[in-house]
């Protein structure tokens, strides 16, 4: 990473930050969000597909657990993750025996972002899958298709616009994740310091130009990604336009 | 398997539904069987049970000697392994796939050359080849129906299930589709169940009918039999009969029609106990007032209460025996062609009707 003085965007406060700029939060944020989104996409889809075929009390309880990260303050989620993955936590113990630990590492930023953004993916994927006419899946069955094939070839392409929306939401949420990340991953420059964390510590260190610069960068990244995803969704071959009778 | 009359599909199932229990037993041969019943009688549930999309509570389903479901032995072959083609009520074509991709959906496990061949054959059979590259939204209802039928036939199913195949089509397309279905059945020579709530549709498509009401089989047999001698009042109504009277037997072939206030002779000996007699609207004959026919049995004077016209026929609502007083309901509905009605509409009342002993049928209850 090139080191250069950060240029503040708020005129009249301070134009040039004292310390040189460390660009690694951009890379960390993007890598974390992308990895977390990939995980939530797979996990959210699997959970939504599982939930779709179930009713009754178990399904409701599982629903509650799945949606908890959306309702709880991120710090609470982070604290719970810390209990789970910490040295004395059940998962932490297991990982320790495998000779590794995730707390305060890059993996921890991914875990925090994935857990926090999971409910958004799960909710939108479920809504999208529920929109698929069940008779289409039944038709698939009578034609000899396995459940997995019906899911892949019928449900998934038809629910795709909704799932894509869920992916965008999840990515955006992962990009903005702060509370849980701070709890479980901390602020290790070059390893766990994402853009939101860099902003927080810049403000705390009274480095307003640096905080402002990071804010501006965050806005630009978000806009570019949303625009990209939007145009990509419009160009999708299996998109709605293809079979809408145009 | 043997000839066309060998039993190929055996169904004995019971399934508890919300309002009643579906409890059905029948066998079908290599010929279409019409399943007729009002909405909510359990027709679709029966079809879905045979297809393997729902699981009956108990019973047995066998196709060509292969057990598909047997509750006692815990056999329940999944829908995808039953090799039963199903035509869904609103076709259920995959909207994101072309017609060709839809039809080929069930052929994915075949090697490419055979797949192409089977696809072409299936499209050909339903005259859908020209639609290959179109998406379902881009074609008409009748074309979607042909594509869906091609898709159901593509897997070379052991049986075919059709859920209201003509219901969503307008009159012109309906007769085209009817012809296509008749061709299909003739070539298919395996069991085909055709569900319908429309008696004429069921009659035209299948020589054998099964009438389902509130989950139970109330009639099962050749269509002529069911239409000529409906076993119950419900079946008679469902098959379009309009005239009924409560009845009391007097002798072996004589009955007192309580609502029509007359004694009637019948050709066939009456079943006992008898609860109602019925007569179809187009079986009521009008006899000349000065003719010799007046002295025949089952001839009664009648007065016109009101009439209603369709392009070629007229329905006459009649009161027997006496001129109707204000507010009195008609006894009978008679349906005659307009030309015939033109001949006697100006004749002075009363007219005379003959309730032919051949056409009268009795229904026990």
pLDDT digits over A220-230, tens only? 988 888 788 77
Question: pLDDT band at residue B167, thresholds of 50, 70 and 90?
Answer: confident
Q: How many CB pairs under 8 A join A and B?
A: 73
How far apart are the C-alpha atoms of A104 and A98, rounded to whole Å? 17
- For residue A213, the model assigns a pLDDT of 93
Contact B88 A242 (CB under 8 A): no
Question: pLDDT band at residue A57, thresholds of 50, 70 and 90?
Answer: confident
Is residue A27 a part of any domain in this protein? yes
Q: Which of B229, B256, B281 is the last residue of a domain?
A: B229
- Residue A93's domain spans which residues? 18-194
Question: pLDDT band at residue B7, thresholds of 50, 70 and 90?
Answer: low
ipTM here = 0.78
Least CB–CB distance from B80: residue in A145, A158, A242: A145
Of A2-6, A223-227, B273-277, B338-342, which range is least confident? A2-6
Contact B88 A146 (CB under 8 A): no
* Whether residue B87 is found in the same domain as residue B216: yes
Continuous H helices in B52-209: 99-104, 112-125, 141-154, 171-188, 199-205
Of residues B230 and B62, the one with the higher pLDDT is B62
How far apart are the C-alpha atoms of A150 and A135, rounded to whole Å? 11
Is residue B236 a part of any domain in this protein? no
* CATH number assigned to the domain comprising residue A173: 1.10.3720.10
Of residues A11 and A27, the one with the higher pLDDT is A27
Q: Which two tokens stand for residue A197?
A: 């964390």
Instruction: Look at chain A and report how many structural domains it folds into.
Output: 1
- For residue B280, the model assigns a pLDDT of 86
Is residue A158 a part of any domain in this protein? yes
How far is the CA of B237 from the CAs of A151, B228, B242, in angstroms? 45, 12, 7
Of residues B237 and B25, the one with the higher pLDDT is B25
Is residue B21 a contact partner of residue B15, using CB atoms and an 8 Å limit?
A: yes
Model pLDDT for residues B318-365, shown as the tens digit of each residue: 888 887 777 778 888 888 888 888 888 887 778 888 888 788 888 876
- For residue B353, the model assigns a pLDDT of 83
Compute the nearest-CA separation of B81 from chain A (Å): 6
Model pLDDT for residues A91-139, shown as the tens digit of each residue: 988 988 888 888 899 999 999 999 999 999 999 999 999 989 999 999 9
Contact A143 B106 (CB under 8 A): yes
* Whether residue B82 is found in the same domain as residue B131: yes
* Whether residue B202 is found in the same domain as residue B275: no
Strand partners, A135: none
Chain A residues in contact with B53 by the CB 8 A cut-off are 138, 141-142
Question: pLDDT band at residue A236, thresholds of 50, 70 and 90?
Answer: low
Is residue A232 a part of any domain in this protein? no
How far apart are the C-alpha atoms of B291 and A140, rounded to whole Å? 67
Of A167-181, A217-231, B209-223, which range is least confident? A217-231
* CATH number assigned to the domain comprising residue B198: 3.40.50.300
* Whether residue B191 is found in the same domain as residue B318: no
Of chain A residues 78-137, which have a CB less than 8 A from chain B?
133, 135-136
Contact B137 A133 (CB under 8 A): no
- For residue B1, the model assigns a pLDDT of 42
* Whether residue B219 is found in the same domain as residue B247: no
- Residue B245's domain spans which residues? 241-365
Instruction: Give the pLDDT mean for B300-326.
Output: 84
- For residue A246, the model assigns a pLDDT of 36
Is residue B200 a contact partner of residue B223, using CB atoms and an 8 Å limit?
A: no
Instruction: Look at chain B and report how many structural domains it folds into.
Output: 2
* Whether residue B224 is found in the same domain as residue B351: no
Chain B residues in contact with A243 by the CB 8 A cut-off are 95-97, 135-137
**Can you give the pTM of this predicted structure?**
0.78
Compute the nearest-CA separation of B137 from chain A (Å): 5
Is residue B197 a part of any domain in this protein? yes
Q: Which of B202, B229, B256 is the last residue of a domain?
A: B229
Is residue A153 a part of any domain in this protein? yes
């Amino acid at each position: 990473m090139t080191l250069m003085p950060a240029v503040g965007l708020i005129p009249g406060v301070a134009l040039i930050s004292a310390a040189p700029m460390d660009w690694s939060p951009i890379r960390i944020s993007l890598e974390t969000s992308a990895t977390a989104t990939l995980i939530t996409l797979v996990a959210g889809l699997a959970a939504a597909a599982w939930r779709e075929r179930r009713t009754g009390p178990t399904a409701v309880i599982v629903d509650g657990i799945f949606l908890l990260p959306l309702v709880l303050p991120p710090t609470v989620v982070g604290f719970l993750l810390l209990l789970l993955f910490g040295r004395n936590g059940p998962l932490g113990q297991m990982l320790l025996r495998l000779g590794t630990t995730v707390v305060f590492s890059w993996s921890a930023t991914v875990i925090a972002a994935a857990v926090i953004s999971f409910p958004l993916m799960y909710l939108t994927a479920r809504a999208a899958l529920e929109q698929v006419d069940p008779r289409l899946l039944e038709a698939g069955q009578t034609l000899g298709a396995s459940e997995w094939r019906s899911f892949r070839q019928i449900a998934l392409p038809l629910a795709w616009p909704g799932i894509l929306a869920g992916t965008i939401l999840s990515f955006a949420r992962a990009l903005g994740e702060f509370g849980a990340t701070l709890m479980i991953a901390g602020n290790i420059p070059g390893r766990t310091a994402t853009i939101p964390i860099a902003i927080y510590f810049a403000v705390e260190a009274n480095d307003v130009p640096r905080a402002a610069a990071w804010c501006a960068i965050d806005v630009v990244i978000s806009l570019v990604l949303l625009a990209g995803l939007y145009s990509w969704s419009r160009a999708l071959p299996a998109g709605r336009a293809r079979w809408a009778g145009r | 398997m043997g000839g066309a009359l060998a039993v190929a599909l055996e169904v004995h199932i019971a399934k508890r539904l919300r309002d009643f229990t579906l409890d059905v037993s029948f066998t079908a041969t290599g010929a279409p069987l019409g399943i007729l019943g009002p909405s909510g009688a359990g027709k679709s549930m029966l079809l879905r049970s045979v297809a393997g999309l729902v699981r009956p509570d108990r019973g047995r389903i066998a196709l060509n000697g292969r057990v598909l479901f047997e509750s006692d032995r815990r056999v329940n072959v999944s829908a995808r392994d039953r090799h039963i083609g199903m035509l869904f009520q609103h076709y259920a074509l995959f909207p994101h796939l072309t017609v060709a991709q839809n039809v080929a959906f069930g052929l994915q496990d075949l090697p490419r050359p055979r797949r192409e061949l089977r696809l072409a054959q299936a499209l050909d059979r339903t005259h859908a080849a020209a639609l290959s590259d179109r998406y379902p939204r881009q074609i008409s209802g009748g074309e979607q129906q042909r594509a869906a039928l091609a898709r159901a036939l593509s897997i070379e199913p052991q049986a075919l299930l059709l859920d209201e195949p003509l219901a969503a089509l307008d009159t012109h397309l309906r007769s085209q589709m009817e012809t296509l279905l008749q061709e299909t059945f003739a070539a298919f020579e395996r069991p085909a169940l055709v569900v319908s709530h429309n008696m004429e549709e069921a009659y035209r498509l299948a020589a054998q009918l099964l009438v389902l009401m509130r989950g139970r089989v109330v009639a099962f047999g050749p269509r002529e039999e069911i239409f000529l001698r409906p076993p119950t009042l419900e079946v008679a109504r469902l098959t379009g009969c309009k005239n009924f009277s409560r009845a009391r037997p007097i002798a072996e072939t004589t009955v007192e029609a309580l609502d029509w206030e007359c004694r009637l002779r019948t050709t066939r000996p009456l079943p006992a106990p008898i609860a109602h007699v019925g007569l179809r609207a187009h079986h009521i004959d009008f006899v000349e007032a000065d003719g010799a026919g007046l002295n025949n049995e089952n001839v009664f004077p009648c007065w016109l209460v009101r009439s209603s016209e369709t392009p070629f026929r007229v329905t006459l609502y009649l009161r027997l025996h006496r001129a109707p007083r204000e507010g009195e309901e008609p006894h009978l509905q008679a349906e005659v062609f307009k030309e015939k009605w033109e001949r006697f509409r100006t004749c002075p009342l009363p007219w005379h009707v003959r309730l032919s002993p051949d056409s009268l049928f009795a229904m026990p209850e």
